[in-house]
Structure 1
């Protein structure tokens, strides 16, 4: 075993959509910088970014009901929906820049237009959806959204869902045609091909075992070649930890104060997939329902049209499972190994507060195929067992941290942890995740490279014309960027009409 030491400008850990995005941004802003990527698997985009490990929804809050909560006075809080939509517009702009610059090609291989719908049952839920529609539809970001509680209209929108439905329970839906299906696995692979052609060193089958700060302020990253067993030490002033569920253990190894009092709880996912062409042909939308009372936000059921390897299929789920692994390819010791003296009380507090989540996971793990099929039949009354198979999706590690709401609070979104000096950053958490990758990575760049931002800002605005501007407050700019990105990315067919 040798012990080599090499220095570089930027180290990216993990070859997923986050590292691919950050690397692509930095290559445009500082093309002369040396960037190295370390990935323990043999290919990019094999964990959370892989197309079979996520729902492939371009999260823009068009259909996800958990992004619009009902306040005590009965009004709808749309602030989170606005924020997520604006962040997705940032991603669209950067992807369009890459396509227009011929840095990536054939956008139809990673993004397609798909209507996004919300579907609910019962008087209370229908009333909620109607209020949500009224709150969102007048806003430029959500223009083009339609609402209907007419069964006849819904039969035209979602014939597969309405066929065979015998209940007299009230039903309603919203639909907006500007939604997207995004193959984040394909996009990740495209971006890494682009980075490789621009002299970024991408090292596969390389496991990062330790991260320590050196006396000169640089970070010493210990890497083991999983094929040869060779050990190398790489040094850099900046390290990004984008290892999906594996980010938390690596963040803890840095020892930065910001890594304290943070834990993680792994949740695995399962989807039912339909490959019967006759059934698949009857549905063309991503349809999100509402989580059942007592169920966590990540359990929102949805029936999705997906395009993977140019083949159309339907996915329904997610069904939750439990594994102590932080990654699909991780270790059964991941969860227990993440419990440290500085976060044990945080973890215990979360365990005491989240008994309902524990109960939910136990119930999900115990479901039989027939019970899962019954849940599917709430969406597709005539669903047949022989048309549907079960696929295991990715592992997600839900962040647990101390907040103003109390000790050991479970977080259901995307979390960025950055050291005070900006020299190391890690991405934790789950949805909306990949959909907002560009905005999240720009936030990291802003915190970690403050000295360069004055020089870089014109280039950032060239790549993302809305950078630093609220699209919510600038409908003319929104119209311009939405129209141009739709044209570039091949989404123009269902372009909404802006007033």
Structure 2
């Protein structure tokens, strides 16, 4: 039996972030990190399994929905923008302290754009710009309907685009591209240097309560032998692998929960001529009936020092709960307690099911047509179809009915104490610091007052809405940008 003060299950950005926070406030605690795969940051945190967007509400329409009276609600954009700033603050502080290496290896400036088509889309984007441009998080946001300006900003999309139709673009120059896989590995390497035990190739097979502790049965996948680990606190940050572990632990709060797996694919190119003509992340509106995770976008990505463009996502289906999971994950997850919830959700989300069926039936030419909505002269031979990450959306009872409970993230804690888990997906990695600060508050309420000074030292924006402290916000945006090497300079032709 091995004893640890903290066990973090899953070697992704969430466990890495929580470990960094805990190491700072309690350097004397022993920490064990367990990852099933033979490497770290290889599931949802991998550069190829997410869009790499520093989700900050700069360009995503789903964060600024229209109300029934025609006005716009920007609270979602402001909220996720503040969450991303907390992440930037932590990364900058750790770079200052020399624990994350050169930040250019995991973050860089890539402008973010909203792209609207049709009269309704342009009106939405205009309202969005008017409502956000005066906020400290969105200063410098630019709106245009001028085709010549669009062609200068986004030559791959607009130079030579046929005329006709209402179009608009909104630009924020200070957006970012983030490689969360690299960031995860650097955070965990720093944690390991400070004494944490980080193990890959180890899978948690069972989890149960024993008195005031949790007991984990851990399989060494290479040694093919089981080990037992005891801890007063366990965090489940295993992505799609979290829900089965919660069931193993007997967490009553999630007893009736189900999971609905959603996977995705992207078109990708590394053609130098195309990459040179597009330095941006461009988001448009989701198709009618499509979930927020389906918002089409054309992104600059830099992975392992090489630049790519990615377009998508195109929904796919797999019964696996992880990209490297098992084909039996979904059927094994159905129980008498959640079967009715899952069936009810299927009945009440017919639009989503129709969307998924349509996506599964989509041909190569159909995907190319979608791409040409962004890149009119796109050629099939320049782009390859690649698989992206696997997400599991929580299905639970809402007002007595089975429902897919949004497409965000949800923190779950056990009534017995000593256990916290993360379910869901977007905005995920971008909000990792804010989410893990929430975990600390829920899991360690008795410790938090004593920890707050150290947390403010590590995350200067911690402790209240940044929007209510505009001068602090501007200062932190400026200082974190300088430390992380971020700037608003655009390649030639982008002015």
- Sort the TM-score into its range (normalised by shorter chain): over 0.9
Paired residues of 2:345 and 2:401 also in contact (CA < 8 A): no
Unaligned runs of 5+ in 2: 491-495
Q: In structure 2, how many angstroms separate the alpha carbons of the residues matched to 1:84 and 1:176?
A: 15
**CA offsets per residue over residues 193-246 of structure 1, 9 Å max, x none?**
1111111111111111110000x2210101011111111110111000011111
Q: Which residue of 1 aligns with 2:233?
A: 238
Paired residues of 2:111 and 2:175 also in contact (CA < 8 A): yes
Matched, 1:85 2:100: no
Which of 463, 471, 474 is matched with 1:476 structurally? Answer: 471
Structure 1 residue ranges (4+ consecutive) displaced by more than 4 angstroms after TM superposition: none
Q: Which residue of 2 aligns with 1:35?
A: 31
Matched, 1:450 2:430: no
Q: Which residue of 1 aligns with 2:41?
A: 45
Secondary structure of residue in 2 paired with 1:261: coil
Q: In structure 1, how many angstroms separate the alpha carbons of the residues matched to 2:417 and 2:101?
A: 33
Q: In structure 1, how many angstroms separate the alpha carbons of the residues matched to 2:243 and 2:145?
A: 45
**CA offsets per residue over residues 320-340 of structure 1, 9 Å max, x none?**
100000011111111111122
Q: Which residue of 2 aligns with 1:401?
A: 396
Q: In structure 2, how many angstroms separate the alpha carbons of the residues matched to 1:319 and 1:486?
A: 33
Q: Which residue of 2 aligns with 1:186?
A: 182
**CA offsets per residue over residues 398-447 of structure 1, 9 Å max, x none?**
11122248432342111111113541111111110000001100110111
Paired residues of 1:350 and 1:410 also in contact (CA < 8 A): no
Q: Which residue of 1 aligns with 2:429?
A: 434
Which of 345, 350, 355 is matched with 2:340 structurally? Answer: 345
Which of 237, 255, 269 is matched with 2:264 structurally? Answer: 269
Q: In structure 2, how many angstroms separate the alpha carbons of the residues matched to 1:302 and 1:257?
A: 39
Q: In structure 2, how many angstroms separate the alpha carbons of the residues matched to 1:387 and 1:121?
A: 25
Q: Which residue of 2 aligns with 1:424?
A: 419
Secondary structure of residue in 2 paired with 1:438: helix
Paired residues of 2:341 and 2:401 also in contact (CA < 8 A): no
Q: Which residue of 2 aligns with 1:163?
A: 159
Q: Which residue of 1 aligns with 2:12?
A: 16
Q: In structure 2, how many angstroms separate the alpha carbons of the residues matched to 1:420 and 1:329?
A: 31
Paired residues of 2:398 and 2:405 also in contact (CA < 8 A): no
Q: Which residue of 2 aligns with 1:61?
A: 57
**CA offsets per residue over residues 3-34 of structure 1, 9 Å max, x none?**
xx111100010100110111111111111100
Paired residues of 2:298 and 2:374 also in contact (CA < 8 A): yes
Q: Which residue of 2 aligns with 1:109?
A: 105
Q: Which residue of 1 aligns with 2:279?
A: 284
Q: In structure 1, how many angstroms separate the alpha carbons of the residues matched to 2:112 and 2:124?
A: 18
Q: Which residue of 1 aligns with 2:207?
A: 211
Paired residues of 1:163 and 1:382 also in contact (CA < 8 A): no
Which of 119, 123, 127 is matched with 1:127 structurally? Answer: 123
- The structure-2 alpha-carbon separation of the partners of 1:424 and 1:486, relative to structure 1 and needing over 3 Å to count, comes to same
Q: In structure 1, how many angstroms separate the alpha carbons of the residues matched to 2:191 and 2:463?
A: 26
Paired residues of 2:174 and 2:488 also in contact (CA < 8 A): no
Secondary structure of residue in 1 paired with 2:229: strand
Paired residues of 2:343 and 2:402 also in contact (CA < 8 A): no
Q: In structure 2, how many angstroms separate the alpha carbons of the residues matched to 1:231 and 1:405?
A: 41
Q: In structure 2, how many angstroms separate the alpha carbons of the residues matched to 1:421 and 1:487?
A: 44
Paired residues of 2:240 and 2:322 also in contact (CA < 8 A): yes
Q: How many residues align?
A: 490
Q: In structure 1, how many angstroms separate the alpha carbons of the residues matched to 2:150 and 2:441?
A: 45
Q: Which residue of 2 aligns with 1:320?
A: 315
**CA offsets per residue over residues 109-131 of structure 1, 9 Å max, x none?**
00001100000110111111111
TM norm structure 1: 0.96
Pairwise CA distance, 1:179: 0.5
Pairwise CA distance, 1:493: 4.2
Which of 358, 362, 367 is matched with 1:367 structurally? Answer: 362
Q: In structure 2, how many angstroms separate the alpha carbons of the residues matched to 1:494 and 1:400?
A: 43
Pairwise CA distance, 1:156: 0.9
Which of 173, 177, 195 is matched with 1:177 structurally? Answer: 173
Q: Which residue of 2 aligns with 1:254?
A: 249
**CA offsets per residue over residues 148-196 of structure 1, 9 Å max, x none?**
0111111111111013321411000100011100000110111111111
Unaligned runs of 5+ in 1: none
Pairwise CA distance, 1:290: 0.4
Q: In structure 2, how many angstroms separate the alpha carbons of the residues matched to 1:332 and 1:35?
A: 32
